[in-house]
Amino acid sequence: MKLLAKFNLILMALFGAGSVLIAITARQFLMRNARSQVVQQAELMIESARSTRQYTANELAPLLQELPEHKTRFLPETIPFYAATVTFDYLRKKYPDYSYKEAALNPSNLRDRAVDWEADLINYFRDHVGPKELVGEREASTGRMLYIARPIAAEQACLECHSQPAEAPPAIVQTYGSVNGFGWKPNETVAAQIVSVPMAVPMQIANQAFRSLIIYLVAGFCILVAAIDAAMLLLVIRPVRKLSQMADRISTGDMSVPELPVHGNDEISGLTASFNRMFVSLQKAFRLLNG
């Protein structure tokens, strides 16, 4: 095997090992960064919904409760749950893959009843007092989704409508009936705010960036190998080849070989100069023997 081929094999092995390490590290970084972006989006959306709830409870509900019709019929606009959900529904008209739900185990409005995976989150909060937020991923019909869930506890204001049917405002019982949405206890975790955000777009961007990185690495390696091979050929392989050819002719008795030119003062030039001196000494010895 030629010297240049051996050198290329060593270089490819080193580059291959380095590229695998870089690729693994880069992919992990890109995926973590993409997931972090999704989490930030979800955090922003759940905080926006929380702000809507606070605005409704502190600003809007007191005004609506002063209206005469509030005493004769139920106004859902006074309920923070309703306000946050309806506001988010306007956002979903442009971003249908995003979802927000205040899922409850026993809601008045059956639209808010928790499905299986949402009920699991609520029960987790009920069984574990410490965690105030859960971040996870799940498969949906639209693809991989990241969710953020926060527990909702029954406050005193909630119990005015959700303790017992006899104690609830008649308008609520008239609207939703006396079966669902009652029996809540003080400070009991009864629901969870859950925001779901699609991961497809950030992950596609991360995968595209990873593919671009691999392409750049391969292209850079090819350029690097070509440049090193050219340098090796000009600075090492060609001078050594000339020395080899000259030594081969001398070994067959051809003393008419011209001396090789010496350029520079590197190791190859030093070797060439030493070879020329040896060749001159050999020529003199050869002439003496034949003289």
pLDDT digits (tens, 9 = 90+) for 200-254: 878 888 888 888 988 988 898 889 888 888 888 877 778 777 777 777 777 777 6
CA distance linking residue 162 with residue 257, whole number of Å: 108
Residue 31: inside a domain, yes or no?
Answer: no
65 lies in the same domain as 155: yes
Residue 35 pLDDT level (bands cut at 50, 70, 90): confident
Domain identity same for 214 and 184: no
Residues 40 and 120 in one domain: yes
Residue 50 has pLDDT above 70, yes or no: yes
Residues 102 and 237 in one domain: no
How many angstroms separate the CA atoms of 38 and 198, rounded? 8
Q: Residue for token digits 């001196």?
A: 277
User: What is the H or E stretch that residue 262 is in?
Assistant: none
Does residue 231 share a domain with residue 116?
no
Please choose, from the candidates 123, 204, 99, 191, the residue with its C-alpha nearest in 3D space to the C-alpha of residue 151. 191
pLDDT band at 166 (very low <50, low <70, confident <90, very high): confident
Complete DSSP assignment for 22-57? HHHHHHHHHHHHHHHHHHHHHHHHHHHHHHHHHHII
Which residue among 198, 232, 259 closes a domain? Answer: 198
In a domain, residue 29? The reply is: no
CA dist 254 to 115, 250, 258, 276, Å? 95, 5, 10, 15
Convert 47-76 to b/e letters by CB count within 10 Å (16 or more is b): ebbeebbeebbeeebeeeeeeeebeeebeb
Same domain, 165 and 274: no
Summarize the chain as % helix, strand, coil (round to 5).
65, 10, 25
117 pLDDT band (50/70/90 cuts)? very high
Q: Are residues 7 and 72 in the same domain?
A: no
How many structural domains is the chain composed of? 2
Say if residue 189 is in the same domain as residue 81. Answer: yes
pLDDT of residue 67: 67
Domain assignment present for residue 211? The answer is: yes
CA-angle at 24, arms to 20 and 27, nearest 5°: 135
Secondary structure of residue 113 in the 3-state scheme: strand
Q: Considering only 77-81, 94-98, 99-103, 120-124, which range has the smallest mean pLDDT?
A: 77-81
In this predicted structure, the answer to whether residue 194 has a pLDDT above a threshold of 90 is yes
Global pTM? 0.67
Q: Look at 154 and 245; give whichever has higher pLDDT.
A: 154
Q: Is residue 22 part of a domain?
A: no
The answer to whether 209 and 136 are in contact (CB under 8 A) is no
For residue 286, what are the CA distances in angstroms to 74, 94, 214, 277, 289?
A: 121, 95, 61, 14, 5
**pLDDT at residue 71, rounded to an integer:** 62
Same domain, residue pair 189 and 211:
no
Q: What is the greatest pairwise CA distance in the chain?
A: 136
Do 193 and 216 belong together in one domain? no
**Element (H or E) spanning 137, and its range?**
strand 134-140
Angstrom distance (rounded) from CA 228 to CA 170 = 86
Closest to 13 (Cα-Cα) out of 225, 277, 237: 225
141 and 262 share one domain: no
- What value does the mean pLDDT of the chain take? 83
Percent of the chain with pLDDT over 70: 96
Residue 47 lies in a domain: yes
Gap between the Cα atoms of 59 and 153, Å rounded: 21
Tell which of 198, 219, 237 closes a domain: 198
Helix 3-55 / helix 200-232 crossing angle, nearest 10 deg: 160
Q: Domain for residue 254, yes or no?
A: yes
Among 99, 143, 149, 85, smallest CA distance to 120 is for: 149
Residue 285 has pLDDT above 80, yes or no: no
pLDDT of residue 111: 86
Q: What is residue 86's predicted lDDT score, i.e. its pLDDT?
A: 86
In a domain, 127, yes or no: yes
Residue 149 has pLDDT above 80, yes or no: yes
CA distances from 65 to 40, 72, 75, 99 (A): 36, 11, 8, 29
Burial class (CB in 10 A: 0-12, 13-18, 19+), 285: exposed
Q: In terms of domains, do 211 and 74 share one?
A: no
CB count, 10 Å around CB of 286?
Answer: 13
Residue 17 lies in a domain: no
| Owning domain of residue 41 | 36-198
Of 176, 198, 220, which one is at a domain's C-terminal end? 198
User: What pLDDT score does 235 carry?
Assistant: 75
